Amino acid sequence: MPRFAANLTYLFTELPMLDRPDWARRTGFDGVEVLFPYDHSPAEWERALAGLPVALINTPPGDWLAGDRGFAARPGDEATFRDGFLRAADYASRMGAANVHVMAGVARGPQAEATYAENLAWAADQAPALRLSVEPLNPEDMPGYFLNDYDQAARILDDLNHPRIGLQFDLWHAARLHGDAGVVWAAHRHRINHVQIAGFPSRNEPGGGGFSLPALCDAVDGMEAVWIAAEYRPAKGTAQGLLWLQALKSRGTLIGA
């Protein structure tokens, strides 16, 4: 059975951030992911996690309110990206994070793609113990974001051909970008090193959208070190909406019995 991570940026928002890992553990998650852990020190995170695994963190986005969404594909911002990546790598090491999502930022054109590829290769060299992921984001949620197509991401990854840089499959974004998340999965599953799920089209509790969560679990179960992370907006309280998690984990227990 795959491991399930609670995205602490989206889930348990009724609680202060550093109280959320304990609630993730209590409610049946195997680990957590945190989009941007940088408002708290690594030492604070270590205490809050108390050994709970961390599946993924993101590189620092910059000034979110001013429109920054990362820097990896932004020509002229190489120094900003590299400083931020080294900070992310330090956090990942201290928190025990297995994967770092490298945020591309708002950019476009061939020079942006070249900058992105160079920065990804540089980042992989700086952190040989980490896996890195790239994630296409839909333009409705992330206007102007450089990486906005799974085929585009595949081309960049194939050109890099680096064993520790993979594709982050977010069911929500895949469906918004391409209409059928199942088609995206079938085309790109061999590149995937991290999975995120949400309901479609509501982005509430996982389910619907023509995508079978049990089938996804079966597929991920055969993929080394790949987590399934819950990145959605709970319709009510987080704990009250976890029947989907209980059902999937119970199914895994029955299969293994």
| Residues that are catalytic | 135, 231
∠2-163-174 over CA atoms, to 5°? 55
Residues near 157 by beta carbon (within 8 Å), at least 6 away in sequence: 134, 165, 166, 167, 191
Structure tokens at 200: 């479609």
Residue 5, number of CB atoms within 10 A of its CB = 28
- Count CA atoms closer than 13 A to 84's CA, side-chain side: 28
CA dist., res. 127 & res. 148, Å (int): 25
Buried b or exposed e, range 65-85, using 16+ CB within 10 angstroms: eeebbbbbbbeebeebbbebb
